[in-house]
Amino acid sequence: MSKPFSRTFRVRWSETNALGQVHLSGYLRYLIETAWDWGAAGGLSIDKSAALGIAWVIRETEINIYRPLVYNEMFEFTIWLLKWRRVRGTRCFELRLKNSHEIVAQGAQQVATLDSKTLRPVRMPEQMLDNFLIENPRVIQQRKFPKFQSRPETSFVAQRDVEWRDLDALEHVNNATYAAFAEHAATQALASMGWSPSQFKTQGLAVAYRRFHIQYQAPALWGDTLNVALYLMELNPTGGTWHIEIKRASDNASIVQCVIEWSLANRVSGEEQTLPMGLFRAFGKTIEVNNHS
C-alpha cells in the first residue's frame, strides 16, 4: 500500500493571464507534472512506462476552482489513486496554499492504460499497481458528465488550426491545451456580444471560471482545423454554464466536449457580481439558453 503523493509549486509570471491569475489550462498542466512525478516515485516514470510498452491516456478530467492562484503563490499539489479496475482508474487531486493550507482546487481524473504499439487497452502490471493503491482513499465527489442531445443553431463557432506548439510527445494536442482553446472561444463569444476583455476591465469586472469538466474522445493532430462550438446551457444572476464541443473540420469527428461553469466577479476583490442588464440582453439576442443540464 502507498500514500498520497505531494509536490510543491510556485506560480510563475508566465503562467498567469491579464488578471494576474493562473490560466485555466495551467491547472491541468500542474496536474500532468504532478502525475508524472508521482508515477516516477512509484516506479512508473516516463522511461519505465515506455520500456513496459504502456501508454497513459486521459479520458476525463473535472476540476473545481474555489479561488484563483496568483503570481508567486506557493501551493502543494496532492494526488492519489481512488480506484483501479483492469485497464481504467480514477485519481483524485487537491491544491492547497503552502502556508495557510487553504484549499484552492479539487478534482478527479479518469485514466486508462494502452499498449503503446497497438493502442489497445492493456492491464497495468499488478506489482506496479500495488505501489499506488492506498487504504481507504479519500473521495473527491465527481459529477457525471452530461449528455447533450442537440446543438442550438445560435451557438458561437470559432476555428482553430492545430500548431506545432500545441502538441505533446505523442504528437497529439496536449490535453491541457484544449482548456486554452475552450477559454479562448468563450472570450471570443463574449466579445462578439460587445463584451470584450477591455469592456469588462472598464466596468471593473472579470469572468471567473469555477468548474471545468472535459471528456476526451479522439486526438487532434498537427495541421487539423478545429471547429470550437460554444453555447450557453444555463444562465443565472451571477453567471452561467457553457457547453463547448470541439470537432475536426475535415470529417466533423468529435475531439472533446467540455463544460465550463463561470461567474462574474469584481476585478479587484474577486467577489461575485450580478450580471449587467446589457450582458443579459446580449445573451438573449445571440445565444439560446437551455434551462436544463
pLDDT tens sequence across 119-146: 899 998 888 888 999 999 999 989 999 8
The C-alpha cell 504502456 sits at 54
Q: What is the mean pLDDT of residues 38-59?
A: 93
Last residue of a domain, one of 112, 142, 172: 142
Q: In this structure, are residues 33 and 25 in contact, taking their beta carbons and an 8 Å threshold?
A: no
Residue 149: band (very low, low, confident or very high) from pLDDT cuts 50, 70, 90: low
Full residue range of the structural domain in which residue 66 is found = 1-142
Q: Convert the pLDDT of each residue in 272-282 to its tens digit.
A: 999 999 888 88
201: nearest Cα among 12, 17, 19, 10: 19
| pLDDT value of residue 292 | 38
Judge if 46 and 89 occupy the same domain: yes
CATH number, domain at 87? 3.10.129.10
Q: Identify residue 248 by its one-letter amino acid code.
A: R
Query: Tell me, what's the pLDDT at 238?
Result: 94
Judgement on whether residues 22 and 130 belong to the same structural domain of the protein: yes
Predicted TM-score of the model (pTM): 0.93
**Together in a domain, 187 and 276:** yes
User: What confidence tens digit (pLDDT) does each residue in 59-70 have?
Assistant: 999 999 999 999
Q: Are residues 241 and 136 in the same domain?
A: no
177 and 121 part of one domain: no
